[in-house]
Each structure stands twice: as structure tokens, then as C-alpha cells.
Structure 1
Amino acid sequence: MWSDTFNKVEQGLAQGPLCWVEVMDSRGSVPRERGAWMAVFADRVAGTIGGGHLEFDAIDRARSLLRGWATPGEQGSQGGQVATEHQHRYPLGPSLGQCCGGVVMLRFVLVPQGRMDMLRERLQPPRDCVALFGAGHVGHALVRLLCNLPYRVMWVDSRDSVFPEEEHELVQCEYSDPVQSAVADLPAGSQVLIMSFSHAEDLEVVAQCLGRQRQHGDLPYVGLIGSATKWATFRRRLRERGFSDAELDHVTCPIGVPGIKGKEPEVIAVAVAAQLLQRRSAAPTRNQGNL
């Protein structure tokens, strides 16, 4: 989990310095993308830059830098709470035992003990807001997945008793009756997933989302669980309420990446989460920030 990794880094940095290893740039076929990272301590590693010999060599280099930083000549840097940066270029060829054929530029940043403030922004990447209507079997399976991915969830249901007893730090549970009234309070830019226990509720939530989209245009994705037959029925009813075909085309139904067979809640959840990740990957590159 993202939160688990954050905790590992925070706990390790409280005990000693770390070397932050990050993919600065890459060309050709490489294991990880720009911005991928790992935090290397004297006795542990959190995160990954792709594994294999590249990662093994980078860990050795990071620990060598940490050992050198502990010498008297480098004590001033750590004692003065100033990070020290190094860079290294890795061709992914026979010398590393890898045949990717690409080139990776890594940067190594030595971070003093206790300086979690230097990493907090990096360890808490921008999270997209997912507004999930429905706390049934698929909803629960999906929330468990999204908590491990770069999302925060506003979870809405008209039944207050269906939410977990303990609320995850990235999940906000909202009891709303009628359920569609929660649409007005969604954060701008929310990606909406509709999978309530009732087709009648689903229809009302879709209608509210389309009404908000008409007025504000700030719900980039509205997804509805169900079959093509269900959506055909919904389209007819929504047309009768005055929505145009162009407006109705904003709704994705069925949801989930195609080609994944199975109706188990966990299978559906994986397909839906994958579709959200596809959309995220297609979005403009996000600012990775500075260390």
C-alpha cells in the first residue's frame, strides 16, 4: 500500500539517513518510468525502480554513498541538514545482465536523519478523487483496490449500515438519502462510479451527474455498472428527461476494461480499477515536484 510505504520510509528515516534513488530520465525500453523511486537505508529498501541488476547495482551505489556520508569529511552535510545529490547513467545492456536496450539516468539524494519534510510531498503523490456510489460486494472490493492506488475515495450509499466499521484514511464514507443528493457536493474533477443496490437509485445518480455536467462540466468520467441492455433502457428514460445523445455519450456503460471474463466482485473491481488507471495514464504528465 502507498500508506505502508510512507510509514516504512518515515520509520526508517527516524532511525538514520537514507539515499533517495529516483529515475530522472530514460530512453528506449526500461523497467520503470520517470519519477519511479526507492528509498535505500543501511539495512532495508522501500519502493522499487524496477528490480533486476539495475536495482541491485543502484542499491549498492546508494549504500556506498551512505557509508561515505558517514565519514568525518561528510559529517558537515548531515549535521547541517543539507541533502547531497549524485547522478549516474545506466545503459541497460550486457554489463548489467539486462537486455532491455534502453538507458536510465538515476539521481541519488542523501537525506539526513529525521528530515521527513524533504520527502513528504514526494511520498504523497497527487490522488484523483473517485466518487463511488454503492457499498455492495463490488464496491467493497473496489475500495480495497483503490486504497492501494493513487486515488482517494468518496464512498456514498443510502444505507448507513453497509460501510466498514473502520474508515481508511483515504476513504470518506457518506450516508446520503436520497443518494443522488450527494452529487452536488462532489469535488470538482471527481471520477464517478455508480453501482448502487437499486437500478432506480442508479438512474437518479446518473441524472444528477448529467445535470451537474451540463451546468459545470466538472465531472470528467461517469461510469455505470451494468449491461448494454440496462444502459439502453436508461438512455431512453434519460432522453425523456431532456438529455441529448451528446450528453448521454458522456456516460460509460458497461464499465471496466474489455476482455476480462468473470462476474466475481474482485474480478469486476480489477477491471474497473484498470480502466481508471488507463485514464490516469492518458492524462498529461503530472509535475513530480522537487526534492
Structure 2
Amino acid sequence: MFDLAALAEAIRAHGRVARVVIAGVEGSSPREVGASMLVWDQGQSGTIGGGALEYEAAAKARLMLAGRPTPSLPHGGGREAPSVERVALGPSLGQCCGGAVVLWTEVFQAVPEAVAGVVARGVGEMPLAVKRVLAAARGQGVRPAPGLVAGWLVEPVAEAERQVWVWGAGHVGRALVNVLAPLPGIALTWVDVAAERFPEGVPDGVTVVPARDPAVLADHVPPDAEHLVLTFSHALDLELCHRLLNRGFRSCGLIGSATKWGRFRSRLKALGHSGEAVGHIRCPIGDPSLGKHPQAIAIGVVAEMLRAPAAKVGEKRA
């Protein structure tokens, strides 16, 4: 997936930026086709698998950045001619992986334009096969898999497939946001009662929402969002659960003990929710065997979320 927002931010901060993409894989590889990283003079972000492959690829990308800028390709959106290299991981790098990868490295000075959510680029006239891919994206909404098509690199634009709302900016909320924020495909919204509740450094891409009364905000969240409720107040936790049950959700997790959940379950039923509906809320969340340290809780919660990415366990009530 092509993260245009991340590229734009990197260009804004560092000027010309190299982007390295795994465009093809043969046999065993540390990452899949479409994995990418951004490289600039003094740093990088993202990963194509680490180790010797990433080290050498980043070094070559910096050599491209250090060279004289080449003319932008026609209709390239500020993109210079790419370098395409097949790397046999064992013979070339001494890695245990028995496969090979094709690395596509290009330098950007502006963000390329997407066509129907797809970025396609290559040298020369656009091949008919690529035109067909773009036509399917425009006419039928078909998002192609990333990879090489007739010598051109085709990538769908990265889109958030999951909307996750974290309610509470205490120790566990901060740990959760730090674990969730780097994951692809997640749009993360973080809510608490005041701006000073949040840390000074919030991960890129996280939407921070100070709300004097978060429960009112819960009445307007997307009905297919995923929620993690862990505020400083049991009363607020209860009200959020009540409102989210009315609103509908994809999933909802509540921090707390079995005793807390027993009380909440009774109170939510008293507020008019059926036992089946209340049962859609997970409490406790995470993996108790990992311990109660905030980072340990966060690891357990996120692992739980990643194991069931397609589960829609909420309900919409009239």
C-alpha cells in the first residue's frame, strides 16, 4: 500500500526522499510485496524487513539522493527515474532466506497523483495491462494487489480499514496508542476530557480529541468503529459503554476486573440493554498472563485485536 500522507510529511520535513518498495518476491523473503520504507539523508521510516537487505537498500537509496537530481518522468508527479534491482538474498547478502526480491527505489520531490486510489508508474508509455488495472479501479472500484505489471509498479493507496477509538489518555491509553499507531490500516482517534491529559508527543497520524463530555461524543462515532474504554472514571466508563451500545460498534473492550465487569453488566441491563447486547463488550481486555504493566496490557489487547480483524461483534439498535 502506498502511504501518500507519510511521503508528503517526509518530503515536507526532509526535502527529496527516496522510497524503496519490495516489488517482487521469489521464494522466502523477510517482507511481502508492497512493503516499503522512506529514506532521507539522516534517517528513514518504515521497513522492508530489516537486516542486511534493509541496510544495503538504505545505503543505495542515499547514494541516489546524493547524486544530481534526474529529470522527472513525464506525468511522474515529481518523481525521478527508478532503480529496479533483483537481489538474491543468500548469494548477495549472506542471508539464510533462500529467495530473492525485486527492489524498486525512486526519489520523490513531490507526492504523485493517484488514479482511482491507485498509483502506477514506470518508464515509457503506459502498458495496456496497466491501463486495464486503472480502468477496473475507476469503473468497478477494484483495488489491485501491489506489484509489477508489465514492468510498471502498481500500488493501491493506503486506506484505513479499521477505525479504532481509545477512550482515556492515562498510562494504559498511552501504551495502547504507542502500540497501535505504527500499524497499517488503522485510523486512530484518542479521546479524553482535556488537552492536558495527553502527552506532549503524540504519534503521527493519531487524531487527538479533547472533549469535556466524551459520552456526548460517543453518540456520534462511526457505528462500525472499534472501541477501547479505559478512562480515569468508572462512572464515565459506564456511560460510554451505555452510549456505545446504543450507537452500535464493530467491537468494544473495557479495562477492568471481573468484579468491575459484573457490576457493569448488571447496571447496563438495568439501563435497558439485553444480556446478549451487553455480552458484546469484552471485559477484562488483553491477556492477564502477561501482567498488569501498561505496556504488557497494551501488547495483550492489540494481539487480541489483530487475531480477529474481520470480527464484527457489535450491534445497531434503534
TM-score (norm 2): 0.65
The 2-side partners of 1:180 and 1:229 are apart by: 23
- Provide the residue aligned with 1:222 in structure 2: 252
Describe the shift of the 1:90–1:189 C-alpha distance in structure 2 as closer, same or farther (beyond 3 A).
farther
Alpha-carbon distance, 1:192 to partner: 0.8
CA contact (8 A) 1:176 1:182 kept: no
The 1-side partners of 2:244 and 2:262 are apart by: 18
- Provide the residue aligned with 2:140 in structure 1: none
CA contact (8 A) 1:10 1:116 kept: no
CA contact (8 A) 1:135 1:162 kept: no
SS in 2 for 1:99: coil
Alpha-carbon distance, 1:22 to partner: 0.4
Describe the shift of the 1:107–1:256 C-alpha distance in structure 2 as closer, same or farther (beyond 3 A).
same
**Which residue, out of 204, 207, 210, partners 2:242?**
207
- Provide the residue aligned with 1:98 in structure 2: 95
Alignment of structure 1 residues 19-34 onto 2, 5 Å: 19-26=18-25, 28-34=27-33
- Provide the residue aligned with 2:159 in structure 1: 126
Structure with bigger RCO (C-alpha 8 Å, 6+ apart)? 1
CA contact (8 A) 1:92 1:103 kept: yes
CA contact (8 A) 1:154 1:174 kept: no
CA contact (8 A) 1:223 1:255 kept: yes
- Provide the residue aligned with 2:233 in structure 1: 198
CA contact (8 A) 2:8 2:110 kept: no
The 2-side partners of 1:41 and 1:167 are apart by: 22
Is it true that 1:271 corresponds to 2:282 in the alignment?
Answer: no
Letter in 2 for 1:250: H
- Provide the residue aligned with 1:246 in structure 2: 276
After superposition, the CA RMSD in angstroms is 4.0
- Provide the residue aligned with 1:186 in structure 2: 221
The 1-side partners of 2:178 and 2:266 are apart by: 34
The 2-side partners of 1:4 and 1:108 are apart by: 16
The 2-side partners of 1:180 and 1:56 are apart by: 48
| Structure 1 residue ranges without an equivalent (≥5) | 214-218, 284-291
Alpha-carbon distance, 1:191 to partner: 1.5
SS in 2 for 1:186: coil
Alpha-carbon distance, 1:109 to partner: 2.8
- Provide the residue aligned with 1:138 in structure 2: 172
| Structure 2 residue ranges without an equivalent (≥5) | 120-154, 312-318
Letter in 2 for 1:136: G
The 2-side partners of 1:19 and 1:115 are apart by: 11
Alignment of structure 1 residues 39-58 onto 2, 5 Å: 39-41=38-40, 45-58=44-57
Alpha-carbon distance, 1:209 to partner: 1.2
Letter in 2 for 1:212: R
The 2-side partners of 1:247 and 1:200 are apart by: 20
> How many residues are matched?
263
1:122-176: per-residue Cα shift (whole Å, max 9, x none)? 9x9434432222333322343444444455543334x437523758472322324
- Provide the residue aligned with 1:85 in structure 2: 82
Describe the shift of the 1:110–1:167 C-alpha distance in structure 2 as closer, same or farther (beyond 3 A).
closer
The 1-side partners of 2:6 and 2:79 are apart by: 26
CA contact (8 A) 2:79 2:106 kept: no
Letter in 2 for 1:36: A
Letter in 2 for 1:31: P
TM-score (norm 1): 0.69
The 2-side partners of 1:5 and 1:222 are apart by: 32
The 2-side partners of 1:43 and 1:275 are apart by: 36
- The structure with the greater share of residues assigned to helix is 1
1:171-214: per-residue Cα shift (whole Å, max 9, x none)? 3223243x42221121343211111233333222112211212x
**Which residue, out of 256, 265, 270, partners 1:235?**
265
Alpha-carbon distance, 1:63 to partner: 5.5
The 1-side partners of 2:262 and 2:38 are apart by: 50
SS in 2 for 1:84: coil
Describe the shift of the 1:207–1:83 C-alpha distance in structure 2 as closer, same or farther (beyond 3 A).
same
1:8-48: per-residue Cα shift (whole Å, max 9, x none)? 44433x2x4x4421012435542223322123457764433
Alpha-carbon distance, 1:255 to partner: 1.2
SS in 1 for 2:20: strand
Describe the shift of the 1:167–1:181 C-alpha distance in structure 2 as closer, same or farther (beyond 3 A).
farther
The 2-side partners of 1:130 and 1:46 are apart by: 23
